[in-house]
Structure 1
Amino acid sequence: MNVIPGTAVGAARRFAGGAALLLRGIGLYVRSPGLMLLGVVPALISGALFLAAYATLLFFVGDLAAAVTPFADDWSAAARSVVRVIAALAFLGLGGLLMVLTFTAVTLVVGDPFYEKISERVEERYGGTPDSVEVPFWPSLRRSIADSLRLMALAVLIGIPLFVAGFIPLVGQTVVPVIGAAVGGWLLAVELVGAPFYRRGKRLPDRRAALKADRPTALGFGVAVFVCFLIPLGAVLLMPAAVAGAALLARRSLGQPITED
């Protein structure tokens, strides 16, 4: 049976195809271990800092849950425990979303020379960048930081209502995490394709427009990266592979080949 583009089945297939781009990035990682291992170094540094920050959140999450639920102080012990467990899960979910996105933004800035080289190598493997422009390092870094801050601000704006929705029984523990993964995945995809788009003289609005043209593929890639980054050490070990996969996603979104001759 032919699948009509835009149907649920077609979207699901494109979503799976986007997730497969991360697997292809991992394959490139394995075939070029020397270059890819350099990309682990900045991720390891950032990862240690963010792991410490999340551990701090875990330590204080009970106090935070109590602080935002003073109305439950006079409830029965069982009811109070339930509402504060829900509050704690909401804090941990919001913290996880912001941690993954902030980790990615900071690591890309810290390891810019390494990740730029990884991205370039991937593009060279599939035909290069015919429309590349010369981008000086410092202006490129400033633009990268500015665009990352915009994406982070958007994540906070979306994360706050998700945090509030996390208090809704059942919905907060089922629907909200799925929405959070989708939002986080989309923002990760937009963030990670930055280097290939900068090489072409394109900015954040260009990234958004190109990825929106095939949103299921971008979401498939981004959600796969988001879920892997939530696994302990996953963000550190897979950051170079995510950069490699993002180069493929950028080429695909711009209509350029992602198969070798």
Structure 2
Amino acid sequence: MRDLRVGFTYLLRGQRWVARHGKQYGFGLVPGLITLVLYVAALVALALWGADLVGWATPFADDWSSPWQGLFRGFLTVVLFALGLLLAVLTFTAVTLLIGDPFYESLSEKVDRDVSPDGTAPESGLSLARDLWISARDSVRILVRALVWAVLLFALGFIPVAGQTVVPVIGFFVTGFFLTEELTAVALQRRGVELRERLTLLRARKTLVWGFGTPLGLAFLVPFVAVFLMPGAVAGATLLARDLLGEEIREDGDEDGDEDAAGRTRYDDQSPETATP
């Protein structure tokens, strides 16, 4: 439970950081706005022509009598739109990070410098083109994993009772995990941490990851919210990445804890070396 609280605190601290750095927040909104326009257009098209697509994909139901044909195809249309919405939530972060890679790399570096005891930030040393290629490649790999989970959860959704109660909850935790992976990748990739290593780090601290990513995934379901939370989510994920790697986090004047002599925030249940918000 403590890691859940800490993960959520990182999310809040990230939002507070961008609130104090208005210029970074403004730049960070641009990629999200571009992605939002693209996704809204795709979802509107799915809403308008989803029934036609379902009708084309189910020719075997053409001769079914009323009301069974309408009920069957109506159900599939709703499921298709729900699946499209789930995929939009799962992939929004990846697409936004890809579009806004230079913006978010700069933001993440500034967060690192701000909270690092020595005021420095790790640098990848790679060219922008190379960074973009690695980000795109890893995003596709994560997307494949997310699609496997989406299909599995979609199938489990047909189980009576559990499909309408337990499965959606699992879906939110899965979404939170993948959101956190995509967001922490900005800071971890800059440190040379490969995808397999990143997944290992995240799986070792699942409750921390869920505390950060699951509330964010729920918030992303609200129209337009994802755009405004993305800059702070990247900032918070940078703090979380430092925690995963055991790096110190300094935040002067943090209201949630007392600082030690080195300027690190100390909490009653933590040692100075592992102090986290």
TM-score bucket (shorter structure): 0.7 to 0.9
**1:36-75 equivalence runs, <5 A:** 36-63=25-52, 67=57, 74=64
Cα distance in 2 between the residues matched to 1:30 and 1:130: 21
Q: Of 117, 126, 129, which aligns to 2:115?
A: 126
User: Which residue of 2 is the match for residue 185 of structure 1?
Assistant: 176
| Mapped partners of 1:53, 1:63: distance in 2 | 15
Q: Displacement, 1:170?
A: 3.2
Shift of 1:32: 0.8
Q: Deviations over 1:178-201 (max 9, x none)?
A: 122111111111111112112211
Task: Give the alignment's Cα RMSD to 1 decimal.
Answer: 2.4
Q: Which residue of 2 aligns with 1:9?
A: none
- Mapped to 2, the partners of 1:14 and 1:72 lie a distance apart of 53
Looking at structure 1, the residues matched to 226 and 54 of structure 2 have their Cα atoms a distance apart, in angstroms, of 27
Q: Flag the 1:86–1:24 CA change in 2: closer, same or farther, 3 A.
A: farther
1:230 and 2:241 are equivalent in the alignment: no
Give the Cα separation in 1 of the matches to 2:124 and 2:232: 24
Give the C-alpha shift of residue 135 in structure 1.
2.2
% identical equivalent positions: 41
- Match in the other structure for 1:160: 151
- d(CA) in 2 for partners of 1:214 and 1:173? 28
Contact 2:112/2:121 (8 A) holds in 1: no
In 1, the alpha carbon distance for the partners of 2:148 and 2:120 equals 35
Aligned position for 2:270: none
Name the counterpart of 1:243.
Answer: 234
Q: Residue 39 of structure 1 aligns to which amino acid in structure 2?
A: G
Give the helix-richer structure, 1 or 2: 1
Deviation of 1:210 (Å):
1.5
Output the TM-score relative to the length of structure 2: 0.80
Report the Cα distance in structure 1 between the residues aligned to 2:213 and 2:62, rounded to whole angstroms: 38
The corresponding residue for 1:26 is 15
Aligned to 1:34, what secondary structure does the other structure show? helix
Answer with 16-25 or 234-243: which moved more. Answer: 16-25
SS at match of 1:149: helix
Task: Give the match's secondary structure for 2:37.
Answer: helix
- Where 2:165 maps in the other structure, the secondary structure is helix
Aligned to 1:195: 186
2:4 aligned residue (15, 28, 38):
15
Per the alignment, residue 255 of structure 2 pairs with: none
Letter in 2 for 1:200: R
- Counterpart of 1:221 (choices 192, 196, 212) is 212
Q: Deviations over 1:149-204 (max 9, x none)?
A: 00011111221122222233433332222122111111111111112112211111
